[in-house]
Structure 1
Amino acid sequence: MNIHTTVKSDIEIAQESVVKPIVEIAAKVGLTEEDLELYGKNKAKLTYETMETLATKPDGKVVLVTAINPTPAGEGKSTVAVGLADAFNQIGVKAMAALREPSLGPTMGIKGGATGGGYAQVLPMEEINLHFTGDIHAITTANNALAAFLDNHLHQGNELNIDPRRIVWKRALDLNDRALRQVIVGLGGPMQGVPREDGFDITVASEIMAVLCLADSLADLKSRLARMIVAYNYDKQPVTCGDLGVEGALTLLLKDALKPNLVQTIEHTPVLVHGGPFANIAHGCNSMVATKTARKLADYVVTEAGFGADLGAEKFLNIKARMAQIDPDAVVIVATIRALKMHGGQSKADLKQENVEALRKGLKNLKKHIETVQAFGLPAVVGINRFVTDTKAEIELLEQWCQQEGVEVSLTEVWEKGGKGGVDLAQKVVQTINQSPSRFKSLYELSQSLEEKMNVIVQQVYGGKGVEFSAKALKQLKEFDQHGWSDLPVCMAKTQYSLSDDQAKIGRPQDFTIHIRELIPKIGAGFIVALTGDVMTMPGLPKKPAACAMDVDDQGRAKGLF
């Protein structure tokens, strides 16, 4: 169970766990030391040669882990994903996980890391949650190198006739820093560049992060980088990274970052941790190369998409799966009784108190996510992440409700018991896949208009009435159609806390409209971002950041890292 006054912290559990040499972990899935580029003893990257060799092998099954809309009570989606991979191996199924890398922004801010928790964690936990193998730093460098090349082009005569008022490429930093959302660069006179407005995105919202996660080779990476739009000229025509002639240099900076990172769970299950775009402002999935490589190495691959099914899962299924030609076999929807009670109106302070009525009301949120998964033609299994405060009456109500809805349900205790606490879930996922074959289909066709695609997402995934566009967004729809971008998928940037674009509307709101304030073409990534509500691409820090509790001892061991 997940909460007890005397339990150890996640980092204490991680630091007490035995980490095996990564070469031993690689051997479990048929890899040798020759297939690896070692980053110390406990982590490694796979080589390009290895991935090419694996390409002809048969594909394993893909299980996507998603969740209900998150609440401050916590859902433990990553914990269940890690525990499920361990549980598959407990029941004799050759499995591994493919997960996202954590950003330093939420790690130092409020959300926490991305390595799971309790006895369902990925190791080395503190390294993964901090600098890891430097992939995100490489993306930050490539992003800012492009910004520097762009400003230098302006300074050196502006041969491309770029309109400084219409530069759309921002600088990036992998930290939450609201003071950098809007800045002025180039001040100080003619030798310091051309003055203009600029701004910073958090690195995981950079298009380069999305490009890296959706590229399937170095050649594809270079081609995608070249297509990225950085500005518009005085004739209002797009100017790309390729027009600046620097896509080769950016590819050089990213050549190692494109290789997936191999690590392990506490139970020594192999895990590929690679790529980390946010799901509320980006597409929220680990890299395509990691997922595709994992399913060549294992019979079952557990992968995760950020936040609830309305965000990460929708983007995994409509964007990533389409591009990667992956047909998922099943979806696990993680829910906690605590969070469902919050969706039913119970306050966070009272969550330890039994409240069957609040739980019953909150089930409307879970029901919508089940409907969304089923709309994609996929079988769903509800994974209840159990907490010690869950009462018998509450558990029985949730299990009975799932049975009445015809959805398989499993009570999991992976936080406390590791893979053993997820054996029932693993067995039910295997059973569901065998009995209910996937009939996966995307919810919209690429030939539909951008407006039609957004309405499909709002109506079928969020349960809303439709879309309302700002004057700017309406103008952009016409411009994008003229540029030939209407056949791209849509990546909705929306609050994770609600099915609507208003985070205060919890549960299952009705009769709402999604407000699109701006569209951003991410031509390198291959999708159009639709900014809704007041979602930000550079988050801020809370009043008391998580960093305030972090430290390091004299031996270099991290403290206070969750």
Structure 2
Amino acid sequence: MTDLEIAKAATLTPIVDIADKAGLKEDQIEMYGKYKAKVNVTGLKNQSIEGHKLVLVTSINPTPAGEGKSTVLVGLGDAMNQLDKQTMIAMREPSMGPVMGIKGGATGGGYSQVIPMEDINLHFTGDMHALTSAHNTLMALVNNYLQHDNALNLDPRRIIWNRVEDVNDRTLRNVITGLGGVTQGIPQESSFDITAASELMAILCLASDLTDLKARIGKIVVGYTHDKVPVSVAELGFEDAITILLKDAFKPNLVQTLAHTPTLIHGGPFANIAHGCNSVIATKTALQLADYTVTEAGFGADLGAEKFLDIKRPVLGKTPDVVVIVATVRALKYNGGQSVKELTTENIDALNAGLPNLQRHMQNIQSFGLPTVVAINRFTSDTDAELNLIKEYCAAQGVTAVITESWGKGGDGTLDLAKEVVQLTTKPANFTSSYEADDTIEAKLNKIVTNIYHGRSVSLTKKAQNQLKTFAKNGWDKLPVCVAKTQYSFSDDAKRLGAPTDFDVEIREFVPKIGAGFIVALAGNVMTMPGLPKQPAALKMKIDAQGEITGLF
């Protein structure tokens, strides 16, 4: 059976009962049909998370098809509830880009899924649309300000706010707007990002409440004056209007797994071009309601986990008690040089060559001072020899590796991992960040590149060097750094697989996201607006006269 067929065959529990199971009263949820709800978190604002456990699920560098991190995440949450450990899951919302592209959705798979799968992977409760509309409304307001007033002397050539769409559309990467004459606006070079990479997405995911949301929106820098002075949303007076557009999207979404584990899905920044973590408000809500919260960080631990620990953790006010690193035989063989078409064939040599990739991720998480376990996400093509080799390799590194079968067996196939996770939560953590808060941006980058990526150094283009001088002048030179780079390699080159060491990471430019509270460093040729593949997933999707959908994964 496909993921969609499994999801359709499931019996859903009314969301009011899931809310009750999570400890939410009926007046704390807002219904979006029978099986989805928004959570009004106001009543939980001062509820303590002291003593509640947080489990972070991350992974090694993936193959182009992904390796089932979300599937393991869901299976783990279900398994922990089977062990009578009150558990909630907090994860990101899918973007339409990957759904219609190549990677698929983000609700897990097989018998470890979050449902209603079709709704979540398509329009869900409209959060992505609200973010897109709010972002583009701000652009329209800025352009209108340029057309009619411009009392602050904002320079049309130095507008750094652009537009977004929740689709992969390479034709929108570079555009010219305002053509057609004087009444049509001021001609400008502009661009589109995918919504998942927008600053409003980051702000939604890092804000602690509506007041903080509005304050962060007010700090957004939309551009510079002719004298190169930054201009913020608050100076233009638009912060309330944009916050109003996001007031409902700011509330976390409550759904359920196939095993009826309460799940909060909220916010969807990508980890390769954004900070890769679901919202602080959703994670904190789960921590307030449950004894254990299982959450995720996108792509490999070099991206999502580093950003969770260095960007999200200080705002959340909670360090993970355990980190789960998801690995697969096929991803390790891919990192060892085996072609994608041959990953289902046993190849001990390729596996041995790829294991240093896993070793580096384990080493990195241990360098943060956090208890670590490896989850081997088993595929039917994996052989006993391959699986045993990974377990033995991890044991030699002082880390337990547990085979999971979340896709085929749900929580039952993830029980051994759940037992190991529960046991590790009793061990002390001695957290250390990858950089100091008062380090300069360049110093932070060098520490990430040398200590997390294990490269030689950072190189900056002339443009990036000049930007750092501007940031220092504006007082932004001590902000956290969010590196945007390929997810397939520790380096900035997607073809350098495994565990490379002899490389530099080039930062071609920086993007200040002052409302979000960090600086994005664009490495290599990474794009903030992805493109669709030659054969997009959209081609396989069908709908009949009764509205029944097929071909969705």
TM category (shorter chain) comes to over 0.9
For 1:108-164, what per-residue CA distance to the aligned partner results, in whole angstroms no more than 9, with x for missing partners? 111111000000000000000000000111000110000000000111032111111
AA at the equivalent of 2:466: K
Give the corresponding residue for 1:3: none
Give the corresponding residue for 1:341: 333
Give the TM-score of the pair, scaled to structure 2.
0.99
Counterpart Cα distance in 2 of 1:373 and 1:322: 17
Identity among equivalent positions (%) equals 59
The residue correspondences of 1:220-239 to structure 2 (distance < 5 A) are 220-239=212-231
Q: Secondary structure at the match of 1:439?
A: coil
Q: 2:457 aligns with which of 447, 457, 466?
A: 466
Q: 2:141 aligns with which of 105, 127, 149?
A: 149
Runs of at least 4 residues off by over 2 Å: 48-52, 54-59
| Unaligned 5+ runs, structure 2 | none
Give the corresponding residue for 1:426: 418
Give the corresponding residue for 2:206: 214
Give the corresponding residue for 2:297: 305
AA at the equivalent of 1:559: T
Q: CA deviation at 1:56?
A: 3.8
Q: CA deviation at 1:270?
A: 0.3
Give the corresponding residue for 2:438: 447
Give the corresponding residue for 2:101: 109
AA at the equivalent of 1:480: F
Q: Secondary structure at the match of 2:90?
A: strand
For 1:11-46, what per-residue CA distance to the aligned partner results, in whole angstroms no more than 9, with x for missing partners? 000010111100111111211211110111101011
**Count of aligned residue pairs for this structure pair:** 553
For 1:163-219, what per-residue CA distance to the aligned partner results, in whole angstroms no more than 9, with x for missing partners? 111110011110011111111111111111111111111111110000000000000
Counterpart Cα distance in 2 of 1:418 and 1:552: 28
Give the corresponding residue for 1:503: 494
AA at the equivalent of 1:131: H
Q: CA deviation at 1:553?
A: 2.1
Q: 1:13 aligns with which of 1, 6, 20?
A: 6
**Would the aligned equivalents of 1:59 and 1:295 in 2 still touch at CA under 8 Å?**
no
Q: 1:260 aligns with which of 236, 252, 257?
A: 252
Q: CA deviation at 1:59?
A: 4.9
Give the corresponding residue for 1:26: 19
Q: Does 1:201 align with 2:193?
A: yes
Counterpart Cα distance in 2 of 1:24 and 1:157: 53
Counterpart Cα distance in 2 of 1:137 and 1:461: 35
**Would the aligned equivalents of 1:73 and 1:339 in 2 still touch at CA under 8 Å?**
no
**Would the aligned equivalents of 1:79 and 1:121 in 2 still touch at CA under 8 Å?**
yes
**Would the aligned equivalents of 2:44 and 2:288 in 1 still touch at CA under 8 Å?**
no
Give the corresponding residue for 1:81: 73
Give the corresponding residue for 2:392: 400
Give the TM-score of the pair, scaled to structure 1.
0.97
**Would the aligned equivalents of 2:87 and 2:292 in 1 still touch at CA under 8 Å?**
yes
Q: Secondary structure at the match of 1:305?
A: strand
Counterpart Cα distance in 1 of 2:64 and 2:227: 48
The residue correspondences of 1:61-100 to structure 2 (distance < 5 A) are 61-72=53-64, 74-100=66-92
Counterpart Cα distance in 2 of 1:195 and 1:405: 58
Counterpart Cα distance in 1 of 2:318 and 2:216: 20
Computed over aligned residues only, the root mean square deviation of the Cα atoms, in angstroms, reads 1.0
Give the corresponding residue for 1:552: 543
Q: CA deviation at 1:555?
A: 2.2
Q: Does 1:534 align with 2:518?
A: no
Q: CA deviation at 1:57?
A: 5.7
Q: Secondary structure at the match of 2:267?
A: coil
Counterpart Cα distance in 1 of 2:510 and 2:439: 17
Bigger drift between 489-498 and 151-160 goes to 151-160
Counterpart Cα distance in 2 of 1:552 and 1:215: 38
Q: Secondary structure at the match of 1:306?
A: strand
| Unaligned 5+ runs, structure 1 | 1-7
Q: Secondary structure at the match of 2:448?
A: helix
For 1:450-472, what per-residue CA distance to the aligned partner results, in whole angstroms no more than 9, with x for missing partners? 11100010011101011000001
